[in-house]
Amino acid sequence: MPVVFHDGRAFALADRGVDLQDLLSRPDELRQAADLAVSKGLAMNVAPEQILAPVLKPRKILGIGLNYADHAAETGREPPKNQTWFVKQVTALNAPYGQIMMPAVSECLDYETELVVVIGRKGRHVPAERAHEIIAGYTCGNDVSVRDWQRATPTMNMGKGFDSHAPIGPWIVTPDEIGDVNELGLRTYVNGELRQNGNTSELIHKIPELIAHLTAAFTLEPGDLLFTGTPAGVGVAHAPPKYLKPGDRVRIEIDRIGHIEHDIIQERAETRIG
């Protein structure tokens, strides 16, 4: 059921049959429904494991590569002049506190803390100065990457799209609550060790530019998710690399949004059909 969080408490939307993803395109109605839930509803107890991804059926999950200069530097590359995008499969979507599978076919599992833009309205040929009109809000994301599979093809799609490798959440924070989206701290902890500590002020291509570039080619739709890049500190950049392994716990934090957290478990290569 759709839930609104206010002052650390959870409230169910009055109409439990409402489609939250559909409401993203009608922000005034969404705000009214949220206000009504808080003013009239009873607070609920919600355990972390009950919270699902705030968008359950995105049509597209897109990510941009090397969008922080320090991350480009740690990989030995120059900051790209052009935006480089890849696709994360919709089956990669995962809950904010869900388990991440260590692939049966790789030992090169890595983390990437990212601010995720949630699209709220359809948009095509949207200029940067109007990009805000199609943004529903922002959430935390982990662009989980399988580095050897990522490097095996120039599109990066195979290494970015494994099942369970796009956890997001724990909720969508609207732009008016975020304030300046270009001053948000991002942090990654692995087993309590701080690995990434960046800020969205360091984005090479700002969010309006991302939206202008993408909508020059195709329509963005309500519920689409845009992973906006990761700062320095990824596992592959260490010498030797600090890849994730089963039993590890990863915590992703972004200022004014919250955190998501996941345990790494070993995938079993079992054939599943149907």
Residues 61 and 103 occupy one common structural domain? yes
Range of the domain at 57: 52-266
Do both 110 and 14 map to the same domain? no
pLDDT attached to residue 261:
98
Residue 273 has a pLDDT of 96
Percent of the chain with pLDDT over 90: 77
Within-domain flag for 273: no
Asked if the model's pLDDT at residue 185 lies above 80, the reply is: yes
Query: What is the structure's pLDDT at 17?
Result: 63
pLDDT tens track for 155-180: 999 999 999 999 999 999 999 999 99
**240: in domain:** yes
Mean pLDDT confidence for 80-95: 96
Q: What CATH number is given to the structural domain containing 139? A: 3.90.850.10
Which amino acid appears at position 189 of this protein?
A: Y
Strand partners, 189: 194, 251
**Per-residue DSSP letters for 101-124?**
EE-TT-S-EE--EEEEEEE-S-BS
Q: Is a pLDDT exceeding 80 seen at residue 100?
A: yes
Nearest to 118 by CA among 61, 199, 39, 38: 61
For the record, the structure tokens of 105 come out as 């076919």
Are residues 177 and 85 both part of a single domain?
Answer: yes
**10 has which bridge partners?**
5, 44
- Domain end position, chosen among 29, 46, 63: 46
pLDDT of 7 over the 90 cut: no
E-only strand ranges, the chain: 3-6, 9-12, 61-64, 85-87, 93-94, 100-102, 109-110, 113-119, 135-142, 145-146, 166-173, 185-190, 193-199, 225-227, 249-254, 258-266
* Structural contact between residues 33 and 40, judged by C-beta atoms closer than 8 angstroms: no
How many structural domains comprise the chain?
2
Is 120 inside any structural domain?
A: yes
Nearest Cα residue to 203 out of 170, 167, 179, 228? 228
- More confident position, 94 or 3: 94
Query: Which region among 31-45, 97-111, 133-147 has the lowest average model confidence (pLDDT)?
Result: 31-45
- If asked whether residues 41 and 94 sit together in one domain, one would say no
Q: How confident is the model at residue 228 (pLDDT cuts 50, 70, 90)?
A: very high
User: pTM score, two decimals?
Assistant: 0.95
Q: What is the pLDDT of residue 14?
A: 65
Interval 121-159: pLDDT, tens? 999 999 999 999 999 999 999 999 999 999 999 999 999
11-31 pLDDT, tens digit each? 988 665 667 788 888 888 888
Alpha carbon 136 to chain centroid, angstroms: 14
Q: Which amino acid is at 200?
A: T
Question: Does residue 178 sit in the same domain as residue 116?
Answer: yes
